């Protein structure tokens, strides 16, 4: 007879349920609820994410097929699709958002010393957004263009560990640069962003907070050079200058000096010009930092391929936001488990293993680290099994 707890139950044990209850209570998430409390709602959607379910009917059918395994995994009973649809429609999505940020804070502590592709002691973040296309007839609240609907996932990605620290969900019409108004900047940290965030008034606010930015200059960038530093052109660097803005409005928005660095990518031959307010780090480190910004693009590609955020279980804004936040929470939870269990496998590999073994009653470390099960004791063996006795150690 199988003993122990399912892999799904062991995985959910890593969730701080007390913090979840606080987040839900903050928005009255369990008020007048009879059949599907908020935590069970989260578990059902986490199950759907981890097993790649495509619809409410798909979720309901699979939950019923699990039988008694379901109860031992923390889900009281199979959830009817109508019940799940009502919960997605009416339960406040902000409770799930707050809980995802609780997990993000835990992950930030675990990955604080994780190395990345630049020699830098300070924290570094990449800021970007991705667009998720929707059907305009089903999602009219997310109108983007005349015949198209979309939502945007604005993400601030910690380069140490490659996990999101801030996620803001908006309709497709919101321009990327507006997100800078909603961020609180960490003094001493680096924020890497592309030219879509080049707004000198907002960048000056970032500068006054004590943080550093790295971005690319536009072709019509107007400036006056004050000083040039020597560079090693064999490394790809072309110039390292101190400049001031000469445009009337841009100089008013950013009255202090900037650092302008030219770099020719040795792999593609493309000439890149960077702007930063940091004057102490080597120019090559600034160029390497911008290259690390590609990690946020890989993150978007990864979650679109491996999490359920392109096919939605509901059409309302509330349902879409709940699903996105649960997907992010599951992603961060797997990152936390990977760090706590000291697993060498990638997040992709861990998710693939979990999708096939969620309801096995096997220690989760054994499942995720590919350890073989302990040998079984023969039926005619009268002596108790001792490790090393049968192996001759």
Residue pLDDT, tens place only, 52-85: 888 899 999 988 888 777 777 778 788 888 999 9
Q: What is the pLDDT of residue 118?
A: 62
Judge if 319 and 268 occupy the same domain. Answer: no
Residue 298 lies in a domain: no
Residue 160 lies in a domain: no
Contact 149, 142 (CB under 8 A): yes
Please list the helix, strand and coil fractions of the chain in percent, rounded to the nearest 5, in that order: 40, 20, 40
| Residue 31, pLDDT above cutoff 50 | yes
CA 90 vs. chain centroid, Å, equals: 25
Q: Domain boundary at 232, 258, 280, which?
A: 280
Residue 270 lies in a domain: yes
3-class state of residue 150 by DSSP: strand
| Residue 41, pLDDT above cutoff 90 | yes
Whole-prediction pTM: 0.79
| Residue 165, pLDDT above cutoff 90 | no
Judge if 12 and 90 occupy the same domain. Answer: yes
Q: How far is CA 29 from CA 39, 41, 134, in A?
A: 10, 10, 27
Q: Domain boundary at 237, 255, 280, which?
A: 280
Residue 344 lies in a domain: yes
Residue 293 lies in a domain: no
Contact partners, residue 374, CB within 8 Å, separation at least 6: none
Structurally, the chain folds into a number of domains equal to 2
Structure tokens at 355: 């999708």
Residue 130 lies in a domain: no
Judge if 275 and 317 occupy the same domain. Answer: no
Query: Mean pLDDT of all residues in the chain?
Result: 85
**Residue 384 CB: number of other CB atoms within 10 A?**
7
**Residue 35 CB: number of other CB atoms within 10 A?**
13
Residue 296 lies in a domain: no
Q: Domain boundary at 263, 280, 297, which?
A: 280
Residue-range definition of the domain harbouring residue 358: 7-95+313-368
Cα three-residue angle 184-23-156, rounded to 5 degrees: 30
Judge if 34 and 81 occupy the same domain. Answer: yes
Judge if 328 and 270 occupy the same domain. Answer: no
Residue 91 lies in a domain: yes
């Amino acid at each position: 007879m199988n003993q122990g707890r399912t892999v799904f139950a062991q995985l959910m044990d890593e969730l701080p349920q007390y913090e979840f209850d606080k987040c839900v209570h903050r928005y009255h998430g369990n008020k007048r609820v009879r059949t599907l409390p908020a935590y069970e709602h989260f578990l059902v959607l986490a199950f759907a994410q981890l097993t790649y379910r495509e619809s409410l009917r798909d979720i309901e059918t699979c939950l019923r097929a699990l039988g008694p395994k379901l109860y031992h995994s923390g889900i009281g009973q199979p959830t009817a699709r109508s019940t799940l649809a009502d919960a997605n429609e009416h339960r406040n999505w902000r409770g799930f958002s707050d809980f995802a940020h609780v997990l993000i804070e835990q992950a930030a502590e675990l990955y604080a010393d994780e190395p990345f592709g630049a020699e830098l002691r300070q924290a570094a973040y990449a800021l970007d957004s991705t667009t998720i296309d929707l059907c305009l007839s089903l999602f009219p609240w997310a109108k983007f263009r005349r015949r198209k609907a979309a939502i945007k996932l604005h993400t601030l990605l910690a380069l140490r560990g490659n996990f999101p620290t801030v996620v803001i969900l908006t309709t497709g019409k919101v321009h990327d640069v507006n997100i800078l108004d909603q961020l609180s900047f960490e003094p001493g940290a680096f924020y890497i962003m592309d030219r879509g965030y080049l707004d000198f008034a907002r960048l000056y606010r970032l500068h006054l907070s004590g943080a550093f930015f790295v971005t690319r200059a536009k072709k019509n960038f107007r400036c006056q050079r004050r000083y040039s530093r020597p560079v090693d052109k064999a490394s790809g660097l072309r110039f390292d200058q101190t400049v001031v803005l000469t445009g009337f409005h841009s100089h008013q928005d950013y009255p202090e000096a900037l650092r302008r660095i030219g770099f020719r990518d040795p792999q593609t031959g493309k000439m890149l010009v960077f702007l930063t307010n940091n004057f102490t780090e080597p120019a090559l480190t600034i160029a390497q930092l911008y290259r690390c910004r590609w990690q946020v693009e890989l993150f978007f590609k990864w979650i679109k391929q491996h999490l359920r955020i392109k096919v939605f279980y509901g059409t309302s804004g509330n349902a879409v936001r709940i699903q996105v936040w649960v997907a992010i929470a599951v992603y961060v939870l797997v990152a936390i488990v990977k760090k706590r269990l000291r697993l060498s496998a990638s997040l992709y590999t861990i998710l693939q293993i979990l999708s096939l073994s969620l309801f096995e009653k096997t220690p989760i470390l054994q499942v995720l680290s590919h350890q073989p099960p302990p040998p079984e004791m023969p039926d005619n063996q009268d002596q108790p099994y001792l490790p090393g006795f049968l192996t001759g150690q």
